[in-house]
């Protein structure tokens, strides 16, 4: 579980986050949604420790992250996996080398054990046999899956995904969503996803946090999205007349 307490973040005069207090639950896919500029990426970067909040606290299972020394931060980070928007795969390394990198850096596993672990992770994301390819030789969707394989190679307890579906077609986006949800449930980890994708919200949104102008505007799950009267949420999720009609139809069907 990850908890934030009154997070504020400013860049010079620009206050991006204005007192975010929330919880992200273990074994669930926690989604951060909101319009561009709402502060989603800043919040995600604060959660993983890439940005320091101006004030406020982040707790990893009751451990105050920003109160830790370098060694303790490193030990927390060993439990963190992250999928980046553009995958952030190392171009000069093959797929296998990319996934093996954390193992090479932090474990004392033998070569065979590392290879077995890499192959397991690749199989887990349905990419067996692409070990020798370079990131530039595989598609965007495959790069995302390699990114997921690298993120889970050290068996993380916390998985962060920054816009996992950006630039992907709807079908591939669904595959990625399902993969992330399955990994979350299988390993009982805390997964936090920063997304714009409404399919993701409705499919895998166990706990959804809507940010609006740097504040939490709404929090709930994918079932509650349909029934909520929150105007900011409805404006954001059902932005087009087509989606508004769909929502109406769904509500009528449910009686």
Partner 1 sequence: MLFSKILNHLGRYVMMMGTAISRPERFSMYYKETMRQMIDIGIGSLVIVGLISIFIGAVTAVQFAYQLDGTLVPRYYIGYIVRDSTIIELAPTITCLVLAGKVGSNIAAEIGGMRQKEHIDAMEIMGVNTAAYLITPKLLAALVVIPMLVALAAFISIIGGYLASVPAGLMSDAEYVQGLRSFFLARNINLMFVKSAVFAFILTTVSSYQGYYVKGGSIELGKASTNAVVFSDILILLADYMIAVLFT
Minimum gap (Å) between residue 203 Cβ and partner 1 = 26
Residues in the chain: 255
Is residue 101 a contact residue for partner 1 (CB under 8 A)?
yes
Cα separation, 13 vs 11, in Å, equals 6
Q: Which is nearer to partner 1, 112 or 253 (CB)?
A: 112
- Stretches 23-31, 72-80, 125-133, 197-205: which one binds partner 1 (CB under 8 A)? 72-80
Give Cα 52 to chain centroid, integer Å. Answer: 19
**Token digits for 60?**
């990893």
With 0-12 / 13-18 / 19 or more C-beta atoms within 10 angstroms meaning exposed / middle / buried, residue 15 is middle
Nearer to partner 1, 66 or 106 (CB): 106
120 binds partner 1 (CB under 8 A): no
Choose the stretch contacting partner 1; rule: CB under 8 A; options: 19-27, 79-87, 166-174, 229-237: 79-87
Question: Is residue 48 involved in binding partner 1 (CB under 8 A)?
Answer: yes
**Nearest by Cα to 163 from 138, 192, 125, 189:** 192
Binds partner 1 (CB under 8 A): choice among 11, 64, 72, 106: 106
> Which of 61, 66, 86, 116 touches partner 1 by CB under 8 A?
86
Instruction: State the Cα torsion 219-220-221-226 to the nearest 10°.
Output: -100
∠ CA 52-54-57, rounded to 5°: 70
Q: Which residues bind partner 1 (CB under 8 A)?
A: 48-50, 73-75, 77-78, 80-82, 84-86, 88, 90-91, 101-102, 104-106, 154, 160
């Amino acid at each position: 579980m990850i908890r934030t307490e009154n997070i504020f973040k400013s860049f010079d005069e620009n206050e991006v986050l204005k007192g975010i207090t929330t919880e992200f639950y273990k074994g669930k896919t926690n989604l951060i949604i909101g319009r561009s500029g709402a502060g989603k990426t800043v919040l995600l970067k604060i959660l993983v420790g890439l940005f320091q909040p101006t004030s406020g606290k982040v707790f990893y299972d009751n451990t105050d992250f920003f109160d830790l020394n370098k060694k303790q931060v490193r030990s927390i980070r060993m439990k963190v996996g992250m999928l980046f928007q553009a995958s952030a795969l190392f171009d000069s390394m093959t797929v296998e080398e990319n996934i093996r990198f954390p193992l090479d850096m932090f474990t004392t596993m033998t070569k065979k054990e590392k290879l077995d672990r890499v192959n397991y992770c690749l199989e887990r994301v349905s990419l067996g046999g692409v070990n020798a390819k370079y990131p530039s030789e595989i598609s965007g969707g495959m790069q995302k899956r390699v990114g997921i394989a690298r993120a889970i190679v050290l068996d993380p307890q916390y998985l962060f995904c920054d816009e996992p579906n950006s630039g992907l077609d709807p079908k591939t986006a669904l595959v990625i969503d399902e993969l992330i949800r399955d990994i979350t449930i299988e390993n009982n980890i805390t997964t936090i996803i920063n997304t714009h994708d409404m399919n993701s919200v409705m499919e895998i949104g166990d706990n959804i946090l809507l940010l609006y102008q740097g504040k939490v505007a709404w929090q709930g799950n994918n079932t509650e999205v349909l029934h909520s009267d929150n105007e900011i949420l409805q404006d954001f999720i059902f932005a087009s007349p087509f989606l508004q009609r769909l929502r109406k139809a769904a509500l009528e069907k449910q009686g």
